[in-house]
Amino acid sequence: MHRTDGNTAEIELLYRQHGPALLLFAQAVTGERGRAQDAVHQVFLKLLEKGSLSQVVDKKAYLFACVRNAALNDSKLRDRNAPLDPDSAWFSPPDRDYAGEQNLRRALEALPSDQRQVMVLHIWGELTFSQISDLLDLSSNTVASRYRYALAKLRDSMFAKENSCANS
């Protein structure tokens, strides 16, 4: 084992900084919180065991790529259309807006997996379209168009539900 305290501290810091977004992204890929948590842990445990990130230029994008690979390595997820777990919360809602959290989660669930991943990476992962295009091996234009579609669908889905609730 070649890790040093400095490397461990850096990896712990990265886990604290990006852990929530990485977990959300893994949930968007796997559909299950437990498997998502396993994928994130697997990535960080490997990092702790094996080495440092000193040679990685874009650490955040690298972590998202690792988590995506770990999540997709599960053979059950190769079809990439795994149903999302409807019961587990994904977000800590503002002002205890749990209905809003459920609404958002269902709207995300209704998105196609590729659009959902782009949405999560851009909004909560705070990755640029360029970073996402590298990560998903897509052109920036494709990423941007998927994001626009996803955003529009998400907004329509969320506010259509809220308006229908308000009208009823």
Q: Site residues (CB under 8 A) for other proteins?
A: 8, 12, 15, 19-24, 37, 40-41, 44-45, 48-49, 89-94, 100-101, 104, 123-124, 151, 154-155, 159, 162-163, 166
Amino acid at 32: E
Kindly state the smallest distance separating residue 52's Cβ from other proteins, in Å. Answer: 15
| Comparison of 77 and 119: residue with beta carbon closer to other proteins | 119
Kindly state the smallest distance separating residue 24's Cβ from other proteins, in Å. Answer: 4
| Comparison of 141 and 163: residue with beta carbon closer to other proteins | 163
Amino acid at 107: A
Kindly state the smallest distance separating residue 61's Cβ from other proteins, in Å. Answer: 17
Please give the Cα distance from 128 to 65 (Å, whole number).
Answer: 14
Kindly state the smallest distance separating residue 159's Cβ from other proteins, in Å. Answer: 6
| Comparison of 15 and 129: residue with beta carbon closer to other proteins | 15
| Comparison of 24 and 61: residue with beta carbon closer to other proteins | 24
- Long-range CB contacts for residues 122-129, cutoff 8 Å, separation at least 24: 122/147, 124/20, 124/21, 124/24, 124/25, 125/18, 125/21, 125/22, 125/24, 125/25, 125/60, 125/64, 126/21, 126/60, 127/60, 127/61, 127/64
Tokens of 130: 């360029």
